[in-house]
Amino acid sequence: MFDVITAPVDVPVRSGGEVKHVRVPSKKALVAADTGEVVGIVGKDYRIVTNHEALELCRKLCTQVFPGSTPGEWELSDAAGTKNRSRVALDLKHRTHVMNLWDNPDGTSEVHTPFLRVTNSYNGRRALRFDFGFMRRHCSNGLIFEEKVATVTAAHTKDAIANLDLTRAVRDFEDLAADFTACLGTLRGIALTDAESLEIVRAVLALPVAREELSRRTKEAIERIDSDLATLDARHRQEIGGNAYAAFNTMTDFATRPPVSFLIRRDRAALQGRAGSWLKSFHEAAGRPGFTVPGHLESLRKGSPKQERR
């Protein structure tokens, strides 16, 4: 939640054997107030939105989606950013709002809660962005679902931010929630073996696979990732059952809290994006005549359908 301040941009210019610092009037530097680190160079009309401002703006927008709620009822549930601090993602969820999707065999409800993610950037290349997602209440696995419907952006300009609203997203939210529930229902009804579940998760998240020609260090790192993945998958399969919904929870759990490894360079949002894209594509594929799990695995091995979200 660091604050950002501006500083002028000077360029060293050599003239007559001397170096002069010439001001660039069309640019300004964005500087982290706590460390003095430059986090971006932007145009002079760039409107700074601090992380604190982004959080409060997100709270106000949440009340457009749920008119009966107040800003104070939306709490920060997670925050993540890049190492160079040029981008920060803040997730807000309502304290009490839940979605009871179905009853498990033991009589307990499977509960999700919607959340809103604001992605704030300081590099001048990304708009201020708001994404709707759904979070499994039991383990707080966050994901972004169906980007085309649930994403609203605003350029870092005074007018764009002042006029920002989520009217379109509010209108589409009920359909979004219904689609999400239907997708999870499909996953719950398709059985997977341990091996199938792990292979799907690895393929969707594009995790590395051990090969003979790799170095010992790389093989050991892959073994640690595989061990973490197997532990997560075993836990979700024990809780939910040996089905594709358990694999999806393994996927989103791993994506939300990826292990520290030099082999995993994608940020949390990118991994969650892959999981969300797979959820929709798997639901659609499972509804086509002739669908089989081995056939789906083969399509993932070939990279079709494409899982990357852009």
Task: Report residue 304's pLDDT band, with 50, 70 and 90 as the boundaries.
Answer: very low
Average of per-residue pLDDT values in the chain: 85
In angstroms, the CA 289 to CA 309 distance is 26
Query: Are 195 and 290 contained in the same domain?
Result: yes
Scan for tokens 């024990």, then name that residue: 238
Read off the tokens for 123. 């590099």
In this predicted model, what pLDDT tens digit does every residue of 54-65 receive, in sequence order?
Answer: 888 888 888 877
The reply to whether 182 falls in a domain is no
User: What pLDDT does 134 receive?
Assistant: 87
Find the mean pLDDT for residues 261-287. 88
User: What pLDDT does 136 receive?
Assistant: 86
Number of domains in the chain: 3
Task: Report residue 106's pLDDT band, with 50, 70 and 90 as the boundaries.
Answer: low
User: What pLDDT does 241 receive?
Assistant: 92
Query: Are 27 and 72 contained in the same domain?
Result: no
3-class DSSP state for residue 16?
Answer: coil
Distance of CA 234 to the CA centre of its chain: 24
In this predicted model, what pLDDT tens digit does every residue of 123-137 receive, in sequence order?
Answer: 777 788 888 888 887
What is the percent of the chain where pLDDT is above 90? 31
Query: Are 64 and 104 contained in the same domain?
Result: yes
What is the bridge-based pairing of β-strands 141-144 and 151-154? unpaired
Range of the domain at 10: 4-43
Please compute Rg for the chain using Cα positions. 22
Read off the tokens for 73. 């009822």
Query: Are 205 and 130 contained in the same domain?
Result: no
Task: Say if CB 19 and CB 32 are below 8 A apart.
Answer: no
Whether pTM exceeds 0.85: no
From 149, 165, 181, the end of a domain falls on 165
Find the mean pLDDT for residues 197-223. 93
In angstroms, the CA 73 to CA 135 distance is 17
Query: Are 75 and 17 contained in the same domain?
Result: no
Query: Are 119 and 202 contained in the same domain?
Result: no
